[in-house]
Structure 1
Amino acid sequence: MFAVVKTGGKQYRVTEGDVIKVEKLDGETGKSIVLGDVLMLGDDKGVKVGEPLLKDVSVTAEVLEQKKDKKIVVFKKKRRQNYRRKRGHRQEITVLRVTGIGKAAAKKTEAKAEEKAAAPAKAAKAPAKKAEAKEAPAKKAPAKKATKKTAE
């Protein structure tokens, strides 16, 4: 089974187990990422093409590494004008290993998303109780005494 995934303005044809280098994505090393923009899905039965995306299909991948790519040299020149500029650039990339393709991958990620959504809801309730306790009346600072100015 293969899929064509869109990320970082580029399209990648991936199969399960492939290692690809993509534009920088948020995620720590070892964590799982869901690529939801699937343009095409193919297997031995046939090919499904999205218009423009396939619904309920996703690709899961594991982050192997966050690093910088090879250096790209940017050289500008205008002939006969003594104008030359040389600059370099290293793009940040994410190295991914594809772990799952298809609707099954989407279901697994939905279950994980639901667990993550439930955890912050529980955490959100606890700070609300603390906020209510902090609303107790605060003591006022003692008033400053007025001083008289004398004309000299």
Structure 2
Amino acid sequence: MYAIVDIAGKQFKVTKDQFVYAPYMAGEAGASVEFDNVLLIDNAGAIEVGAPTVAGAKVSGKILEHVQGDKVIVFKKKRRKGYKKKNGHRQDFTKVLIENIVK
């Protein structure tokens, strides 16, 4: 059984006991979260597609920790002008354990 869930504007294919690195969400480690925007559910080949969401479907999970992604280097340069700028960025993520998919 799997589901496609919309978490903070991004879609994830999730199954039970799977880890998902979702965009940063408020809450402490150990807190439980529930996602109501379930777009699709597949239960042993029986696929149910929502319009836009599946009615009565929920995905519950637990926040494990808040982490940062890999560093991305942003480098800007204009040739022959003496202009160089180097910057780095690390995106914040929340590691979520999917505990249950309910239809």
Q: TM-score, normalised by structure 1?
A: 0.63
Cα deviations across residues 81-121 of structure 1 (Å, max 9, x unaligned)? Answer: 33322111111110001000023xxxxxxxxxxxxxxxxxx
Structure 1 residue aligned with 2:13: 13
Structure 2 residue aligned with 1:99: 99
Give the partner amino acid of 1:61: G
How far 1:50 moved relative to its partner?
A: 1.0
Give the partner amino acid of 1:97: L
More helix by share: 1
Of structures 1 and 2, the larger Rg is shown by 1
Structure 2 residue aligned with 1:67: 67
Structure 2 residue aligned with 1:23: 23
Change (3 A) 1:83 1:43: same
Give the partner amino acid of 1:71: K
Cα deviations across residues 57-100 of structure 1 (Å, max 9, x unaligned)? Answer: 11001111012222111122334433322111111110001000
Give the partner amino acid of 1:100: N
Q: TM-score, normalised by structure 2?
A: 0.90
Q: Give me the whole-angstrom Cα distance separating, in 2, the residues matched to 1:26 and 1:89.
A: 20
Which stretch of the first structure deviates more once superposed, 64-73 or 30-39? 64-73
Structure 1 residue aligned with 2:47: 47
Give the partner amino acid of 2:99: T
Runs of 5+ unmatched residues, structure 1: 104-152
Q: Give me the whole-angstrom Cα distance separating, in 2, the residues matched to 1:6 and 1:101.
A: 14
More strand by share: 2
Structure 2 residue aligned with 1:126: none
Task: Give the number of the structure with larger relative contact order, counting CA–CA contacts within 8 Å between residues 6 or more apart.
Answer: 2
Identity among equivalent pairs (%): 36
Runs of 5+ unmatched residues, structure 2: none
After the TM superposition, which segments of 4 or more aligned residues of structure 1 sit over 4 Å from their partners? none
* Two-structure CA RMSD over aligned residues (Å): 1.4
